[in-house]
Structure 1
Amino acid sequence: MAEPDEKKQPTNAVEHLTADNAKFATLSVDAKDATDKEHRMTLRQAIKLYPKAIAWSIFLSSAVAMEGYDIVLIASFFAFPPFTKQFGEQQPNGKYQVTAPWQSALSNGARVGEILGLTINGIIAERYGYRKTMIGTLIAMIAFIFVLFFAKDIGTLVAGEVLMGIPWGVFQTLTTTYAAEVCPVVLRGYLTTYVNLMWGLGQLIAVAVLRGFLKRDDQWAYRIPYALQWVWPIPLLVGILFAPDSPWWLSRRGRHEDAKKALQRLTSNTPEADLDQTVAMMRHTDELEKEISSGTSYWDCFKGVDLRRTEITCLAWAVQPLCGASLMGNSAYFFEQAGLGTGVSFDFSIGLYAIAMVGVVIAWFTMARLGRRTLFVGGLVFMCLVLLIIGFVALAPPKAKGPNFAIGSLLLVWALVYNITVGTITYSIVTEMPSSRLRTKTVVLGRNIYNVIGIINGIITPRMLNPSAWNWKGKSGFFWAGMCLLCLVWAFFRLPEPKGRTYGEMDALFEKRISARKFKSTAAELFADEVVEEKAEK
């Protein structure tokens, strides 16, 4: 006598939910429709369908320019005569230098504030939404600029940098997560990495402003650059009052109708059925993540499957400051200590940040073709070689002018490669790796790792370059080349390829523990067999 067929047992979160929850099975049909449409959507179609999402993402991302401006401003002040004369000490050669400990304090003050701001953002953004969080931090920033503008001693400047770091910590992650959640897969890489373009724009403006004030020798030479920071927050504040909130955040809060309304404001002429299917995809992803890991606290980032996702996010962020980026952040001071004149140092810095912005645009084209992982790993290989060459060139006699210009030129090449690869691609990677329910908190943790390493860099980099400290100058290239090599080893074995994957597909691949090098070629089983069969019958 034939034995009755045994019912297939669920083997993963998707099958468990489909077997136990008829409502989820119905939701899956619409979610699969939306997922298939996202995969078929071309870049041209996405731009036509999501013009308002693109505009709002670009608008909010411009807030990051403020941080890029101040971070480079304070580092460039170390090579700015009016500032060093006011806040520095006279050296045996007659020139003024801000001492290495105060350089570290000024560089790290903002980092300390950013860590606090990031931690706060991980809590309040998920509770009150991205729009309200941005409005509150912009108001705080307008007030904090007064501290920097009216500072009369270096201690007050440090306090002002700490305070300014709090809103910057919010901007660092909120802008990228907002961009990641208001656009479809095909636009995600472009809009999340646009943040790096704004970072570069802020840096370029800072160096250009100081270059324009080099001929002044009074206090306004450094106070006016601080005052220019009031230009950004007010128009941003007015605009964000009218911005839609993230539909993914609204869906996670159970406000599905509000999520649909937000999508209507982010898209153009979208049929009602398509909006319903997109919301269904969000709900499907949220339910799947609840099945895999039910929590949404910081502690849940370190549990189960999410531990690996947190590791990748944190270490991807860590690669940026570990691969030599602090040389670019201190470029004017680096060039001056390498033997170039003050004016030439600022000219080189302007060129460096202009090249960096060009690198971001090049990254948009290469990323679409090569993906994230290939660019990330390849960029680390090239940067490691350039840093080694900088170190060897710096071994030349200190009075020779040729090697000094060679070092400056090599750092420009390094900056271009950095912004085509690691500097830009990281912003996309860190928003694609976490689960939707833990995205904000995971990105916050990653950026905090970035800032902690930035604090360490803020202590050691001035000492590497300062003639009254270690005085390594260009030979610091050897140190950063070694760090770059360590980052390369990690990226090769641990960094997966997220290009073209929806958030639900990323969940499925991580749940199955697919290795980093097989991520690209593995098919994601996002829907149960019966859902696929039902779709085929329609």
Structure 2
Amino acid sequence: MASDLPAQTSKAVQHSQLEAIASANEKMGEAQVIEQAKEATEIEHTLSVMECVKSYPMAIFWSIMVSMCVVMEGYDVSLIGNFFAYPTFAKKYGNYYPDIDGGTYTLTAPWQSGIGNASGVGAFFGVMLNGWLVDWFGQKRTLLGSLIALTAFVFITFFAPNIGTLTAGEVLCGLPWGVFASAAPAYASEVLPLQLRIYLTSYTNMCFIIGQLIAAGVLKGLVNNPTEWGYKIPFAVQWVWPAFLIPILIFAPESPWHLVRKGRFDEAEHSLRRLQRKSAPINPKATLAAIIYTDNLEKELTVGTHYRDCFKGTELRRTEIACFIFAAQVLSGGNFAYNSTYFFKQIGLDSNTTYKLSVGGTGMALVGTLISWFALMPYFGRRTIYLWGMATMCTILMLIGILNVHTSKHSFGMTQAVLTLVWTFVFQLSVGQIGWGVPAEVGSTRLRQKTVCLARNAYYIVGVVANALEPYFMNPTQWNLKGYTGFVWGGTAFVMLVWGFFRLPETKGRSFDELDVLFAKKVSARKFKSTVVDAFDESETAEIVRNARE
């Protein structure tokens, strides 16, 4: 009797899948639909990047448009961090200290922590809310509603009469930013074929850089403006993006995976047709069959759709990976070496040099992203890129700390500044990209949105702690560590390097159903790349379903 269990379980899996698929493809035989799902998966593995680009231009376009929402969060994060060293902003919202540098205005460390964390706190709740909103309304309506809300919240920051009101406005603006940051990579992973997944999920990171580059340029142009418009205009620029994106995203197709989870198969097929050319090598019906097959496989693996399900069974491991890989963007030293204008000021560089270096650093980040796309991602796996990048950044941070002994000499201060730019370049070659791509693909499809939300919130939680500590590390009225701060973040980067070696699996080239099987079989991280699986193999499917139910 026990020997019949795998076959019986497999039949139950197949029957459940066939019923769902058949309801979406009434004119086709059940066996033919299953065969199409398998064929679609096999063809998707064989397509090259250029073939995918030619076959799915609209999927690329809509993914880019959704990710463009993230530009605003990247812009604001850079804006607030750089405002600490911005003369007119410090005079409006800071206090005067006659004993520092012969008399200067600056924000106290508590207020630096408070306003630096404000949007992150709002984004934390925005991310959690997004996990439910997408289930109820879908990606499209959630994004549109968030853009409208952001338009209203920017008024608070623009007209803020004091730092308390400004902080409250940043918290409210953080709510839609959290939605954008968690929705964009999830949407990209659901509308794109396998070979384009990492490029467009990590494109979200490029949108952050674009926002930072815009912020650096705006601040550089207004740094010598002695009036209140020197800091008001940068806030007002944030109104441009909703005005640009809302009219476009009204016409965006909904995620076919979301529609399948809701049982709206006809709409899912229509969405798939909008995302690809008629000449694409995979028929939309076949792609739909593959989506339904994967969704039903996960149902048989008892994968739920609630936040609590992210912490059950094999989903716990997938959630851990997504959370740690996102948190690594902070723990690799981002609060110190990225947006480092305040650090530049503390080591004695003037405002003009500081902002020139800031723009140059953001430009290097953009170049690093492009090099990662064309020279690293096509040839190396996510795990390899992460480990080498983290090791290099750890070394750079330690070197900055060592050089701090000699910062009394301007040449060494400038060397430290240049090393932060090198760190930025390496970050965008590696962890900056992988940190967005892996969370969007490592979670099961039924929990993808919530896995991304939890991962992004792990980033925000760690970021709140880092934002609270960093001003104390750097502020001359507090610990005043200057370059010695490199030792602190170099240590956390080393911890993340060790974690990655033992826990980060290789997901490059794996379809979602293959990842389901690999995680269900509890394959170790270092064996993910070499393990051969077949998600359509009846005996293998039966085995993992039985193990999941036990």
Same-fold call, TM > 0.5?
A: yes
Give the corresponding residue for 2:123.
Answer: 114
Equivalent residue for 1:133, pick from 142, 152, 157: 142
Aligned partners of 2:40 and 2:282 also within 8 Å = no
Give the corresponding residue for 1:69.
Answer: 75
Give the corresponding residue for 1:376.
Answer: 386
- Aligned mates of 1:29, 1:192 — CA distance in 2: 29
Aligned partners of 1:71 and 1:329 also within 8 Å = no
Give the corresponding residue for 1:536.
Answer: none
Question: Percent sequence identity over matched residues?
Answer: 43
CA deviations on 1:272-303 (whole Å, 9 max, x unpaired) are 97111100000000000001124211000001
Give the corresponding residue for 2:289.
Answer: 280
Equivalent residue for 2:319, pick from 295, 310, 318: 310
Change (3 A) 1:109 1:13: farther
Aligned partners of 2:56 and 2:280 also within 8 Å = no
CA deviations on 1:314-355 (whole Å, 9 max, x unpaired) are 111111111100124441111111221111011111111110
Equivalent residue for 2:161, pick from 152, 155, 170: 152
Matched AA of 2:393: M
- Structure 1 residue 83 corresponds to structure 2 residue 94: no
- Aligned mates of 1:344, 1:104 — CA distance in 2: 25
**Offset at 1:426?**
1.3
CA deviations on 1:441-483 (whole Å, 9 max, x unpaired) are 1111111111011111111011111101110111100001100
Change (3 A) 1:151 1:437: same
Secondary structure of the 2:277 match is coil
Aligned partners of 2:146 and 2:179 also within 8 Å = yes
Equivalent residue for 1:367, pick from 367, 371, 377: 377
**Offset at 1:218?**
1.1
Matched AA of 2:474: L
TM superposition outliers: structure 1 runs of 4+ over 6 Å: none
- Structure 1 residue 403 corresponds to structure 2 residue 403: no
Equivalent residue for 1:51, pick from 50, 53, 57: 57
- Aligned mates of 2:247, 2:288 — CA distance in 1: 29
- Structure 1 residue 334 corresponds to structure 2 residue 330: no
Aligned partners of 1:14 and 1:527 also within 8 Å = no
Report how many residues are paired.
527
Equivalent residue for 1:259, pick from 264, 268, 281: 268
Give the corresponding residue for 1:18.
Answer: 14
- Aligned mates of 2:71, 2:17 — CA distance in 1: 47
Alignment map for 1:365-444 (pairs within 5 Å): 365=374, 366-396=376-406, 398-444=407-453
**Offset at 1:18?**
3.1
Aligned partners of 1:10 and 1:16 also within 8 Å = no
- Structure 1 residue 179 corresponds to structure 2 residue 188: yes
Aligned partners of 1:392 and 1:475 also within 8 Å = yes
What 5-or-longer segments of structure 2 have no aligned partner? 22-29, 542-550
Aligned partners of 1:18 and 1:528 also within 8 Å = no
Matched AA of 2:161: K
- Aligned mates of 2:463, 2:2 — CA distance in 1: 58
The normalised TM-score by structure 2 is 0.93
Aligned partners of 2:18 and 2:34 also within 8 Å = no
Give the corresponding residue for 2:221.
Answer: 212
- Aligned mates of 2:414, 2:246 — CA distance in 1: 43
Give the corresponding residue for 2:41.
Answer: 35
Secondary structure of the 1:340 match is coil
Change (3 A) 1:413 1:230: same
The normalised TM-score by structure 1 is 0.95
Change (3 A) 1:436 1:299: same
- Aligned mates of 1:98, 1:80 — CA distance in 2: 10
- Aligned mates of 1:20, 1:254 — CA distance in 2: 14
Give the corresponding residue for 1:226.
Answer: 235
- Aligned mates of 2:18, 2:171 — CA distance in 1: 52
Aligned partners of 2:17 and 2:292 also within 8 Å = no
Aligned partners of 2:303 and 2:446 also within 8 Å = no
Give the corresponding residue for 1:528.
Answer: 537
- Aligned mates of 1:273, 1:409 — CA distance in 2: 48
Matched AA of 1:528: D
Change (3 A) 1:476 1:11: farther
Deviates more, 1:7-16 or 1:500-509: 7-16
Aligned partners of 2:390 and 2:496 also within 8 Å = yes
Aligned partners of 2:389 and 2:426 also within 8 Å = yes
- Structure 1 residue 201 corresponds to structure 2 residue 210: yes
Matched AA of 1:376: Y
Matched AA of 2:323: C
- Aligned mates of 1:50, 1:435 — CA distance in 2: 23
Matched AA of 2:312: K
**Offset at 1:271?**
6.8
Matched AA of 2:385: L
Matched AA of 2:397: L
- Aligned mates of 2:245, 2:319 — CA distance in 1: 31
Give the corresponding residue for 1:495.
Answer: 504
- Aligned mates of 1:21, 1:116 — CA distance in 2: 36
**Offset at 1:529?**
4.7
Q: RMSD over aligned Cα, in angstroms?
A: 1.9
Change (3 A) 1:12 1:391: farther
Aligned partners of 1:362 and 1:420 also within 8 Å = yes
Aligned partners of 1:28 and 1:531 also within 8 Å = no
- Aligned mates of 2:493, 2:356 — CA distance in 1: 27
**Offset at 1:204?**
1.0
Deviates more, 1:145-154 or 1:330-339: 330-339
Aligned partners of 1:383 and 1:418 also within 8 Å = yes
